[in-house]
Amino acid sequence: MYSTLELIGPRLSNGRTNDHKSPFEIEELPEGSLYIADLGFFAIERFFRIAKGKSGKRYFVSRLQPKTNLYHRRGHCIELAGILPKQVGQVRELGAVIGQKNGLPVRVIRLSTK
């Protein structure tokens, strides 16, 4: 268990620079880190580098980029429309795999707001 907590960031960069060209280096995140980013930083390869980094287990939180495929562990595509919560405020949670090449296990949390 970790005895201290430290906030690293937010890091600012030129607003005209594409998010994928940010100077922020994922590799410098220490073990146990939680990486939180907006959709501009959504990249499956980035998430894979965060989760499988050399410095131990690290975590990330992001909204899901539209048209991103999620898979069951056996490789079948998950249709999110069929598992949406039915009532406002209801939460649905499931395990999935993101990315066909590397197959990164993730936890998907869906919240109904309408």
DSSP assignment of 71-107: E-TTSPBP-GGGG--SSTT-EEEEEEEE-TTT-EEEE
What is d(CA 30, CA 64) in angstroms, rounded to the nearest whole number? 24
CA atoms 62, 66, 68, 69: torsion sign: positive
pLDDT in tens, 93-102: 889 999 877 7
Tens digit of each residue's pLDDT (9 = 90 or more) over 27-69: 677 888 888 888 878 888 888 888 887 777 888 999 988 888 9
Domain boundaries along the sequence of the chain: 26-64, 69-114
13-17, 54-58, 82-86: which has the minimum mean pLDDT?
13-17
Alpha-carbon distance of 64 to 42, in angstroms, equals 8
Give the mean model confidence (pLDDT) for residues 95-113: 85
